[in-house]
Structure 1
Amino acid sequence: MSTTRSPRRTRPAIVVALVAATVALIGVGTAVAGTPAAQAFRDQPLVAGTPCTVTARACVDLDTQRSWLFTDGKITHGPVPVAIGGPGKETPVGHSLRVYRKEQLHKSGEYTMTNGEPAPMPWAVFFQDGGIAFHEGRTDTPSAGCVRLTPENAKLWFDTLQIGDQVQVVSAKQVQADRAAG
């Protein structure tokens, strides 16, 4: 008696559901061109002098490596210099990211210092899966994907941003091109 099975055929509906779920997971917090989220981002007015919309509470421009805080569509602080992710560890773009955790004395679970201790990430405000956060650190060298701020700005971002606040991380050049294309 043979124990081998004949190959199973994948049902088209299952494939479609798996692809849709994968795309949804990949697109969490981001707006891909042509999606309803991207259109919603384009439909909102920008905060004057920034590449982010009036719905955001915090904005990061990857092109100029600057960040702002907003209240009711108006700049309350910034622009301030930030460090963003370098090659291979880019800071992820997102139009509708949300603050989901804050930790004043966070230590990295991924990176260590030369003495083997976990790298400190003071004033961490997490807004993207994978541990991407605003936090205190050097602003003159690339990060591993996080948005690093000076100590005083990291504390201000920590004190200002609340769980659920919208964060937008964008390329000003891409925003301008997308809006010009309509």
Structure 2
Amino acid sequence: MAGLFEAASGGGAVIALDEVETSILRSLAVQMLELIGPGPAEEEQADPLAALFAEGPSAPPEDPALARLFPDAYGEPNQAQDDEQRAASAEFRRFTEVDLRTRKREDALAVVHALDALGSGGERGGVLRLDAEQCRRWLGALNDLRLTLGARLDVADDGEDDRLYRLPDDDPAKPLVMAYLWLGAMQESLVEAVLP
């Protein structure tokens, strides 16, 4: 069970993580939080009506990883948009990106909190049990982490896994590749664990 999820009796999932796995996962989740950025200021959160109508950016992110996490809603990926698609994407982004960032931030925080519950700020290994809601959050966070690493590795689709497996050990991207593949296996095992 080390490093992969299994179905837990009574629902949810369970995974045994050693200290290294725990440390890597926590570090990646914290980096994801830094990439996504801070949430709205506390004074903005005090008014729930204002938060409901908060507007986000209308321009797509310049960072390729953020662009992968927050893609345009209209047009084909990696294709030039016409003026109508660009305007529709900007409008859609303006009203959805704040909520999307909040959800992604909460998913990454759920991973950090769960790992911290193992003890010593996520520096100890152990058996982690997730309920159904935690599983949903972990699935979101694992997906976001893979998308981010995929963007950093310039992976266009899962069909490129073969290229990643052939990477020489002395390639500086090898640690990212190993994390990307491990997160994929972990994500797949969690999906299988929670499916009926």
TM-score after normalising by structure 2: 0.23
Radius of gyration: which is bigger? 1
Of Structure 1 and Structure 2, the greater helix share is in 2
TM-score after normalising by structure 1: 0.24
Of Structure 1 and Structure 2, the greater strand share is in 1
Point out which structure has higher relative CO (alpha carbons under 8 A, 6+ apart). 2
